[in-house]
Chains A and B, each alone.
Chain A
């Protein structure tokens, strides 16, 4: 079934993102594109709910509601992974900042100590 291939592909993509994603403007563009597409998709599904059934039929899922559920699961997972990576990056920035502060303080202490001794 087509839907199975799409789902497998989506999960592999999320897994790949977890392991390999680096911060870049391309990545950001792709994320934003996804959000815009999700918005448009959601809007269309709300306005024309009967077409979700048609689309579901095309990819081999029984009902439109099932199709939406799959989409929600994939997007939710992707979001969690994205936030996790973002947090890792944020931690690194925090660490670098804290370390710079620590080493500057040490230099300052040392300079003041040297001055006091002189």
Chain B
């Protein structure tokens, strides 16, 4: 599909085999801008609308994304897995980039990570906000994320600095190793768990997370890490 806005540069051809997957749930305020922005670099954007009650799906479609719609709200993990299944069904797809709908990720980081995966042939690249000084999370947020990273390290042996970052790149091979069964927020740990078991090549890449007033409303609480822990043990 041709970009509609005359000011938009064409997506970059070398990124054509990369698919952006965005789990989408009631983000009407921001989703059009996020998709529009991504479309300047990536041709393939798929939003998985997880039963939004607002106009998110229509807005994403108008902005140029392919929109898959869950018939009801299942959770972010379920939405990601649906997106993964869809991308795998596209024979030309080589990589997937998971990207949050709320505008907290930077497109530049996603492009860098995709290029890295394509040129260096790394199967999995995890975004981390703790590898440089750009991101300024509050103290509470920092504690929550560090606890999550520590838990991930204990469970998987993977030395991640940021376990719950929504920006990641997975190769097609890596997608074959992932089967998310945690529908809720515990999928972030689950995905690392499954990929760690696969022993595919991986690295972390520094990314900036933008804490806007909008994205702050949707953050996770410290108590929720208990939920995540239990979800991972009881399956």
Q: Which A residues are closer than 8 A to B by beta carbons? A: 18-19, 88, 91-92, 94-95, 98-99, 101-103, 105-107
Q: Are B72 and A106 in contact, CB atoms less than 8 angstroms apart?
A: no
Contact A99 B234, beta carbon cutoff 8 Å: no
A98 — which chain B residues lie within 8 A by C-beta? 70-72, 74, 78
Is the pair B68, A106 in contact by a Cβ cutoff of 8 Å?
Answer: yes
Query: CA A102 – CA B86 in complex, angstroms?
Result: 10
What residues of chain B lie closer than 8 Å to A91, measured between beta carbons?
183
B55 contacts chain A at the CB level, 8 A cutoff:
no
Total count of chain B residues near the partner, CB < 8 A: 19
Q: Are A19 and B183 neighbours in the complex by a CB distance under 8 Å?
A: no
Q: Which residues of B contact A88 (CB under 8 A)?
A: 234-235
A-B contact count (CB 8 A): 39
CB distance from B164 to the nearest CB of A (A): 21
- For this complex, 20 residue pairs linking A to B, each with C-beta atoms less than 8 Å apart, are A88-B234, A88-B235, A91-B183, A92-B181, A95-B78, A98-B71, A98-B72, A99-B70, A99-B78, A99-B81, A99-B82, A101-B71, A102-B70, A102-B82, A103-B82, A103-B89, A105-B69, A106-B66, A106-B68, A107-B89
Interface residue ranges, B against A (CB under 8 Å): 48, 66, 68-72, 74, 78, 81-82, 85-86, 89, 181, 183, 233-235
Interface of A is mostly: helix
A102 to chain B, nearest CB (A): 5
Q: How far is the CB of B51 from chain A (nearest CB, A)?
A: 9
Q: Inside 8 A of B68's CB, which chain A residues have their CB?
A: 102-103, 105-106
Closest to B184 in A: A91
> With a CB–CB cut-off of 8 A, which chain B residues contact A19?
233-234
In the complex, the answer to whether A106 meets B86 with C-beta atoms within 8 Å is yes
Let me know if B72 and A99 touch, CB within 8 A.
Answer: no
A58 to B: closest C-beta gap in Å: 36
Complex: how many Å from CA A19 to CA B233? 7
Alpha-carbon distance between A88 and B72 when the two chains are bound, in angstroms: 17
Q: Which residues of B contact A95 (CB under 8 A)?
A: 74, 78, 183
A39 to B235 alpha-carbon distance, docked (Å):
31
Chain B residues, Cβ within 8 Å of A94? 74
Closest chain-A Cβ to B229's Cβ sits at a distance in Å of: 13
What A residues does B85 contact at CB under 8 A? 99, 103
Closest to A106 in B: B68
**Further contacts, 14 of them, CB under 8 A, given A88-B235, A98-B74:** A18-B234, A19-B234, A95-B74, A98-B72, A99-B78, A99-B85, A101-B71, A102-B48, A103-B68, A103-B86, A103-B89, A105-B68, A106-B66, A107-B89
Cα separation A94 to B174 with both chains bound (whole Å)? 25
Q: How far is the CB of A118 from chain B (nearest CB, A)?
A: 15
What is the distance, in angstroms, from A55's C-beta to the closest C-beta of chain B? 34
Q: What distance in Å separates the Cβ of A3 from its nearest Cβ neighbour in chain B? A: 29
In angstroms, Cα B78 to Cα A92, docked, is 10
Bound together, the chains give a CA A107 to CA B86 distance in angstroms of: 9
